[in-house]
Chains A and B, each alone.
Chain A
Amino acid sequence: MIEIRRVFTHVEHIHHEFGPRADTPLVRGAIGAVLTNPFAGRYEPDILPMMALLDPVGVDMAHQLHAAMDVPLEQISTYGKGAIVGADGELEHGALWHVPGGYAMRELLGWKGSRVAYTAGIAEEKKGQPGNALSIVPSTKKVGPPGAALDVPLTNINASYVRGQFDAIEVRVPGAPAADEIVFILAMSTGYRVHARVGGLLAKDISKWDGLR
């Protein structure tokens, strides 16, 4: 059921945006895996079997993205995910990525939660402790033609409300997805927008450890 045709990585270093040159550039990265859509061209009521099979795909992609970004793991500060479904598929096929995509990055970043509970969508009462990857992984998805661009949102891995790290990265794989393909995407960054200056919660002031603040 899982056939990866192509893997596309994208890493950018942002040194400035017409303001002062940053001492350390913001590093943003994304990885897109182009998979054959096994449900293309028909309505398949039971698509869940594919979700479990995507778990190892997500883990591989998360590690590959981190390697491509070439920064220490503790510098990864934001994440996001997305999917672009080819024309013979439906948006719901892209939704298969929510669990395996999110789980993969959270595990990479040191999340200690239960995979079983995460897959089942059950909240865990583990609030109030410092940790890694406590936040929801923000996402976007769409049905699109080859070369379609998707703006993948990025937010802090521990507290969604860190304002200076609200960001997005445009991801696009030239030539993909074909009508019978899906592009599954993961994205991460080292944090603050290069000239962030609109106030709000800072990562160093996270105190509730509830994934939000």
Chain B
Amino acid sequence: MTANIRKLVVQVDEVRKEMGQDVTPPTRRAVAIAVIENPYAGRYSENLDELIAIGEELGALLGQKAVKALGIEPGQAQSYGKAAIVGERGELEHAAAILHPKLGAPLRVAVEKGAALVPSAKKQGTLGTAIDVPLGHKDAAFVRSHFDAIEARVSDAPRANEIVVAVAVTDSGRPLPRIGGLQASEIKGEDGLR
């Protein structure tokens, strides 16, 4: 099964100043979004293998698109996240089938390593529904400066028979992190947590 992609959207958000303070270097977050046809729209299917395969395909495609948009080498990626919005004729489990079984492995190739869990969000929605894609450090989930989120939204999707799938990658944490906790410089990056 190859995803029937109607539209691909890639956004980069670069923050240079926050509250009058320079952000040096600027923080940069990318989100790559695919609008795809939901092969199970309008019917209950016990088996969701087609969406699982689509998830694997999109993990590679969207991960690579986001890294390319940032103009970085894969190893320079710092945090990541994923999310899906299912149109009205689908069910929440369809988002789970895309996101959880197979999307992560090719995404981790796209960002090199990725010991940490890929944080995720999902919802049902309609045209223009926004979803906040959670972000966490790719090698150590407890890095506090990298807890963040980026909004993903496509103005004309998802139609009832569609699913919006988003993968976010950054080369940085929040603009002016100053609430302590585990620092990126302190991680071991082996267990995915610290």
Contacts and interface: CB of A to CB of B under 8 A. Distances in A.
Given A14-B7, A15-B7, A68-B69, A8 B155 contact: no
Q: How large is the interface on A (under 10, 10 to 19, 20 to 34, 35 or more residues)?
A: 20 to 34
Contacts of A13: 7-9
Q: How large is the interface on B (under 10, 10 to 19, 20 to 34, 35 or more residues)?
A: 20 to 34
A81 interface: no
B109 interface: no
B14 A16 contact: no
A17 interface: yes
Chief secondary structure at chain A's binding surface: strand
Contacts of A16: 6
Given A16-B6, A149-B155, A174-B151, A3 B17 contact: yes
A58 to B, nearest CB: 17
Chief secondary structure at chain B's binding surface: strand
Contacts of B153: 172, 174
A11 B8 CA distance: 8
Interface in A1-21: 3-18
Nearest to A6: B15
Contacts of B151: 174
A60 interface: no
B6 A7 contact: no
A155 to B, nearest CB: 19
Interface of B: 5-18, 69, 130, 150-151, 153, 155
Interface of A: 3-18, 25, 68, 149, 170, 172-174
Given A7-B16, A13-B9, 15 more contacts: A4-B16, A4-B17, A6-B15, A8-B12, A10-B11, A11-B9, A11-B69, A15-B7, A17-B6, A18-B6, A68-B10, A68-B12, A172-B153, A174-B13, A174-B151
